[in-house]
Structure 1
């Protein structure tokens, strides 16, 4: 009888260990992704301002995404740990300013943050609990200060066309690391600055050199629309 009980306990411990492994850290770095709201809105699908009002004229956070060095990424790692608004209650006003939703119909951001945590954040929860995950992203945005970096280089959100290499150089000059720039098309079909990717270490504290970039291309000169 004792041997059977012992075996049962060992099996339970093994199952618990395997369960813990399934939600443990299993990624190489984060993509920290910032989105220009003027480019999100200046497309054929347009946008809707959040219920809290028009966001600030600044890059907004899209997400903090765990990734592998081979270009793939984990997702939806722990359905047993869904987004819980009460865990970030002290961050809500900052999230509304810096991580605003522009999807239609207008929302308060909860659906957006829920999606980002459930799909991406749960894959880093062994290192970052919910509050840490969102607080880290907010800190990274402040540290990157991309709009100011571009302005310092004479690159303004005025609808003009700018050199892609100059945009990258300006952000690298400010952060110390080369970004990846993603473009989309405006309502007239022009290529425009849409998202900025910076790579971050697994503690979500420091920018690092990217080992891989997403598969997307921009033209050599792109528009930077106003917002």
Structure 2
């Protein structure tokens, strides 16, 4: 097993050295297409059939050339982040590949999440600049997708947190020799296969281009059954296209900028 992993590392590094320019070109050229494919029309009159649990890698977000770095959540002092995948969303979708959103106008109440708030601060934070506490993105998740789930607000977010923990994606990747590193490059197909072996189901991988023009693994789309308890093969795989090689950038809390001075804790929103 160790020899297999070492060989995979060596092949990845050799492939990177020989093909990095071509791979970066591929990644940059296809990002717009990949993003377009992710934006399916939403229909509130459709029943949803499955969820996409979308997990994002913070190291890639911090180095993405399309964002202005990453910022420390205002809750960071009491709830520092881990070097792990973060939840981006739990999306309701139909088997035809259409997002099912805004099924009703049930309001979002942050107090309904009081039993989950610590876990949400750590595992479903906002690291977008300027700094904020994550509440606005939880509200968006609930009013767009949670209201279509048939779950209570607390259950919807609890399901997402439990799925992230159960999947343990970073551990799956490390078990197959895919490590956060600024120097190790992998075939996205190898990464996808490693996750499929680990989870027993296929996934979608979304890449982005960092400030150095390198192709990086950005988000993983895991399909989950309608009960939000079991990982399944995707009825529809998102049509993202990565380059021939990509990497998982290292992440540390030192990468997070502090813009908390532009935050009004009384309003629980960021300053404009």
- Structure 1, residues 143-164: CA drift from partner, whole Å, max 9, x if none? 1101011111111101221121
Unaligned runs of 5+ in 1: 1-21
Q: TM-score, normalised by structure 2?
A: 0.71
Question: 1:139: Cα distance to partner?
Answer: 0.7
The correspondence of residues 64-213 of structure 1 with structure 2, limited to 5 A, is 64-79=90-105, 81-124=106-149, 126=150, 128-159=151-182, 160-213=184-237
Q: Distance in 2 between matches of 1:55 and 1:83?
A: 25
Report the number of matched residues: 203
What RMSD over aligned residues (CA atoms) do the two structures have, in Å?
A: 1.6
- SS where residue 116 of structure 2 aligns? helix
Deviations 1:81-107 (A, max 9, x none): 121111110100001111111111101
| 8 Å contact kept, 1:24–1:123 | no
Find the partner of 2:52 among 6, 28, 31. 31
Looking at structure 2, the residues matched to 29 and 149 of structure 1 have their Cα atoms a distance apart, in angstroms, of: 22
- Give the gaps of 5 or more residues in structure 2: 1-42, 252-272
Higher RCO, Cα 8 Å, sep 6+: 2
Structure of larger gyration radius: 1
State the TM-score, normalized to the length of structure 1. Answer: 0.85
Q: Does 1:61 align with 2:84?
A: no
Query: In 1, distance between residues paired with 2:219 and 2:152?
Result: 26
How far, CA to CA, are the matches of 2:107 and 2:180 in structure 1? 37
